[in-house]
Chains A and B, each alone.
Chain A
Amino acid sequence: MKARFPSSRKAYRYDGSYPGFLCCVFESFLHKETPPAILREEDPCTFYGEKWIETDEERASRVLRSLPRRISPAAAAFARDVFLTSLPEKELPLLRVLQEGFRSGGTVLDRLADGDLHVLWKAVRSMRNEAHLLLGFIRFSDYGGTLVSVITPKNHVLPILASHFRSRMPRESFLIYDRTHREGVLYRPGRLLFLPMESFTPPPPDQTEAEYRALWRRFYHMVAIESRENPKCRASHMPKRYWGNMTEFQDEDSPALPAARRNLLDKSTGSAYDESTAAVDKHAARFSREEEES
């Protein structure tokens, strides 16, 4: 997509958050310029001159409000979803798409064959796809009434999973730990909070939990028809990278992770410690990224 404003000399650098990016959009429109690059805080230096873009809630929310009104609600959702993908260097293409969107409106999302939009759209599709698969593949274990799950997704799908399970099981309490992004989400009836967590290993199962796991494994193996066995078909519908966290592929005696993986984890973190949900609560209080349910 063609940039709407002429190129400026200085690259933008921001904190990597979605509100931070919206401030970059604001900056671009304020000075009627398109930066040659948009860098995150942790990105290495480039040969461009740099301008630090401060994350300003006021500016971010102005842009956020204008997206559905000036472009389209679908475009607002799209921009939000781009930030959940694992795509590197998504900022500049997204800025150009939004610039064009503010000029031509919601039809900007129809230009699926356009280079910038196609790259973003493909990443969003794969993110939404992963989120959808995980809605089914995620497995909870019951620890005294709290449901706990560990996932290792490629994309940052935790917010999507959290809102799905919040509306599906409003009475339950659950914790989903995203090992890839070292982040957890904790839900208690009426309250949802996201918190950074360096590491987490679920405790061993109690007897009821172990029984349910065994029942499920038995069901899983019984329901297959031997004479129709088709491992290729199974692996294409359910890629093997999800299997590690799924109850049906775990042995009786290794509760949460296959043995090989757990060893690996112990080595990498020195001591992977058990964190009871009470400790998680305490942990949570220190972080203010809290989303109160209305």
Chain B
Amino acid sequence: MTLMEKLAVLTDAAKYDAACTSSGSQRTAGPGSLGSTTMAGICHSFSADGRCISLLKVLFSNCCIYNCQYCVNRVSRETKRASFTPEELAELTIGFYRRNYIEGLFLSSGVLRSPDYTCEQMIRTLELLRNHYQFGGYIHVKAIPGADPLLIEKLGLLADRMSVNIELPSQEGLRLLAPDKSKHSILRPMGYIAGRIVENTRDLTVYRHAPRFAPAGQSTQMIIGATPDSDRQILSLAEGLYRRYGLKRVFYSAYLPVTENALLPAPGTKPPLLREHRLYQADWLLRYYGFQADELLDEQHPDLNPLLDPKCGWALRHMELFPVEINRAPYEMLLRVPGIGVKSARRIVRARRASSLDFTALKKLGVVWKRAQYFVTCRGRMTPGLRVTPESVLRALAEPQGLSLLEETPEQLSFFSGASCGSRAGKEEPHESPLSLLA
């Protein structure tokens, strides 16, 4: 098989991984080495689906001994199989990197022969890159569940970021769809990596030159819409992962039906892209805006409103807290105003030190006035003539894009009816706690 064919097969098999970020690690190239990393990361291209391409995202091999139902590489599926050799992949990465096609390598793999053997092949590739080519660019590597902790340790010392995919947001889903994986096989390496990162931070404060273990931290991914879990379960799980395992990112991936299976949505079902988008919005609120999962969703509202971004949804339920005075409100409160983001909140705090702000000043600072005007006062006044009732605000804030996406995917709401996982209507029934996965 030529390199071109291998690249095609192994890219095709890796494309469903959402993570392609190159952030969280800052390193300059030493003399004689090649490559650096920047804290914010750099996007090198955007593919036709609008996702960022930052890393050469490939599988080492798409041969797999497991049979996870949602996965394109499962052993029972007939598809072209290929594996790189460590030398091939290292040379390809360097060739791409020198031409500035990529910021580094995202290496994952199907389980070839055994988890340990797969891990060893990946280590060999990374060692070639780091030692032979003196490569200082970004490396994101997937830990293979079930591999020996010593091998995971070696991977972590070579990579910038590690990830273990949690795959499905509930244990029940895992049991049905990924019979070879259990919450333990997923959480053990995740916990091990989290522990090593904490330990390494301590080492680094004592010994400046201690070898760094996954300096860009750890991330994970879960599939949305393959099982009937509610947004509330998913978000609380994400929150738990951020808090307990110190994760840098949780990625959500709308399930694309790739197979005929009674347990899964039928092929041809459109992926729940709007739901995925809302989850990402909510995820940002957790990480940067000081929100907690139970503020955004509760028993009465187990799912995010598809028509509203989650922050608007929260604000509409808490109209008693608004309007806030832009010239006096604390930073934390500014962050909670729809239409004000992290950047514009920081600018407001900076600019109001120099002089008091009015409406035109806010627009200059990048505040989305269309949304913010219902929730703020400037020097004690709101926009003259503005009607603020819950209905008028709701109408003004609902997103037309949301409406159109919603109309495109009516089957999204019904695809679980009759399936053995239970219908979406069954969500009111008591569910396994999302945190039970972490227990």
- Docked Cα-Cα span, A115 to B35, in Å, equals 41
The residue in chain A whose Cβ has the minimal distance to the Cβ of B134 is A171
- A229-B49 CB under 8 A given contacts A132-B42, A212-B99, A223-B15: yes
Contact of A140 with B99 in the complex, beta carbons under 8 Å: yes
**Known A113-B364, A147-B99, A224-B15: A218·B350 in contact at CB below 8 Å:** no
Q: Mark B17-34, 1 if CB is under 8 A from A, else 0.
A: 000000000001101111
| Residue of B with least CB distance to A111 | B354
- The answer to whether B49 touches A139, judged by C-beta atoms less than 8 angstroms apart, is no
A interface secondary structure, majority: helix
Determine whether the beta carbon of A228 is less than 8 Å from that of B271: yes
**Residue B207 is within 8 A (CB to CB) of chain A in the complex:** no
**Within 8 Å of chain B (Cβ to Cβ): is A264?**
no
Contacting pair A234 B46 (CB below 8 A) = yes
Chain B residue, CB-CB nearest to A125:
B366
Can you name the residue of chain A whose Cβ is closest to the Cβ of B36? A168
CA–CA, A247 to B95, complex, Å?
A: 14
Contact B353 A118 (CB under 8 A): no
Q: Does B279 contact A (CB under 8 A)?
A: no
Closest-CB distance, B252 to chain A (whole angstroms): 13
CA A141 to CA B98, docked complex, whole Å: 9
By a CB distance below 8 angstroms, the chain A residues around B11 are: 218-219, 222-223
Which of A139, A171, A225 gathers most chain B CB within 10 Å? A225
Range of interface residues on A (Cβ < 8 Å): 35 or more
Residues on the B chain within 8 Å of A107, using CB: 353-354
CB of B311 within 8 A of chain A?
Answer: no
Counting chain B residues whose Cβ lies within 8 A of the other chain, the interface size class is 35 or more
Residues on the A chain within 8 Å of B176, using CB: none
CB pair A227 B99 closer than 8 Å: no
Verify B354–A170 contact, CB threshold 8 A: no
Residue from the set B7, B57, B101 with the largest chain A CB neighbour count within 10 Å: B101
Q: Is A169 at the interface (CB under 8 A from chain B)? A: yes
> Is the CB of A286 closer than 8 A to any CB of chain B?
no
B357 contacts A by Cβ under 8 Å: yes
Residues A220 and B15 in contact in the complex (CB < 8 Å), given A237-B50, A237-B52: no
**A146→B32 CA distance, assembly (Å):** 16
Asked if A50 is at the interface of the complex by the 8 Å CB criterion, the answer is no
Partner of B45, one of A135, A136, A171, A229: A136
Within 8 A of A (CB), among B263-278: 270-271, 273
What are the residues of chain B within 8 A of A168 when measuring CB–CB?
29, 34-36
Verify A227–B46 contact, CB threshold 8 A: no
B355 with A111: CB separation less than 8 A: yes
Are A230 and B32 in contact (CB-based, < 8 A)?
no
CA distance A231 to B48 in the complex (A): 6
| B99, A170: Cβ atoms closer than 8 Å | no
Q: Report which of B15, B35, B42 forms a contact with A136, defined as CB distance below 8 A.
A: B42
- Interface, chain A (partner B; CB < 8 A): 107, 110-114, 118, 132-133, 135-142, 147, 149, 165, 167-172, 212, 214-216, 218-234, 237-238, 246-248
